[in-house]
Amino acid sequence: MKNIGSISQPLTTATGPSIETQTKKNGTFGDMLADAIEEVGNAQVEADEAVEKLQTGESRNIHEVMIAMEKAGISMRLMVTMRNKIVEAYQEVMRMQI
């Protein structure tokens, strides 16, 4: 087994840059949150475009449409869950007595 302290590589996602790189690039929490909201919006737009292409006959691949719709749905549910957790944390802090 390795010690936790001996791990020197930053955490990375399967498709994205390391968390450390993202924090340096984006700067503040607000910037990171705005980027996440923008990504959710882009997923929604991609799903809408895929559905439109299927309806107009440009695309006959229903699998890609379903995948785009699921990605958009999952990202929206994740964003709503994150929002609820942030609001809950804010309310908890506001209930604290100084």
pLDDT tens digits along 13-38: 445 555 555 555 647 888 888 999 99
- Residue pLDDT, tens place only, 29-79: 888 889 999 999 999 999 999 999 999 999 889 999 999 999 999 999 999
Structure confidence at residue 49 (pLDDT): 95
Residue linked to tokens 């984006």: 26
Q: Positive or negative, the Cα torsion across 40, 28, 12, 2?
A: negative
> How many other C-beta atoms can be found within 10 angstroms of the C-beta atom of residue 50?
22
